[in-house]
Amino acid sequence: MEGFAEEVSLGEHLLAQATRLGGAGNLAEYLAHFSRPFGRETTPALGRNLCRWHVFVGKKRGACVGKTKRGKGTKLMVVADGKGVPLGVQLASATPNEVTLIESTLEKVAVPRKGRGRPRKNPTRLIYDKAADSDPLRNRLKKRGIELICPHRANRTKPKRQDGRKLRRYKRRWKIERSIAWIANFRRLVVRYERKITMFSAFVHVACLLITVRQF
């Protein structure tokens, strides 16, 4: 068998196998170039002509992907406690402003109580950066019993509503930045490789679970 195997062309063998699969599409046409002998100056036809969209013709897109100034991306909203343990996570498109996603992110929080009762969703205080400086947002959170602590923007024209003594708690904002850095340490989450948002969300929850286990 070793003596007769040299007479069989590699291109004919691969082409015969591709036609038996019955769904090769244009793959057999490009693999047929292997039957021609290659010289020293010629380049392989497979690397020159066979593109990725020939094998997978579906469009490259997915849910929760929005345009930004730097391109397209997915926004990750995280709520963490004083120890940096994630309490709620939300994935959304990168296009909308963070102010419109704060209340929906708080709905993801579900801290169980010591006794009976529904899980807690409303924290006592919410420390955020200047992006949350919005009077309607302050009013809505105040009705829910949540005190928003964030500095005012430099271009604010309305009267200030944040007391300087309460802004002392703003120095603890580094804890949420640390939690986001912990999540970014997982290489699977630095760049979104998954097309389906359910798969990407699953990896985010696994990362939050590992972070929680490390703190206890």
Domains of the chain by start residue, with CATH: 2-55 (no CATH), 66-215 (3.30.420)
CA angle 109, 68, 203 (to 5 degrees): 40
pLDDT, residue 68, reads 83
pLDDT at 196 over 70: yes
Distances in Å between the Cα of 142 and the Cα atoms of 10, 102, 124, 202 are 73, 14, 10, 32
How does residue 71 score in pLDDT terms, banded at 50, 70 and 90? Answer: confident
Cα distance between residue 189 and residue 211, in whole Å: 14
Range in 135-144, 153-162, 200-209 with the lowest mean pLDDT = 153-162
How does residue 116 score in pLDDT terms, banded at 50, 70 and 90? Answer: confident
Cα distance between residue 209 and residue 192, in whole Å: 19
pLDDT, residue 141, reads 94
pLDDT, residue 195, reads 86
pLDDT, residue 12, reads 47
How does residue 22 score in pLDDT terms, banded at 50, 70 and 90? Answer: very low
Q: Which of 191, 130, 205, 186 is nearest to 162 (CA)?
A: 130
**CB 176 within 8 Å of CB 155:** no
Distances in Å between the Cα of 18 and the Cα atoms of 22, 29, 140 are 7, 10, 62
Over residues 116-121, mean pLDDT: 85
pTM beyond 0.85: the answer is: no
pLDDT, residue 54, reads 57
pLDDT, residue 50, reads 56
Over residues 162-167, mean pLDDT: 84
pLDDT, residue 60, reads 58
Over residues 48-65, mean pLDDT: 63
pLDDT at 5 over 60: no
- Highest mean pLDDT: which range of 14-18, 57-61, 149-153: 149-153
CA angle 117, 120, 125 (to 5 degrees): 145
| Average pLDDT value for the chain | 79
How does residue 161 score in pLDDT terms, banded at 50, 70 and 90? Answer: confident
Over residues 73-99, mean pLDDT: 92
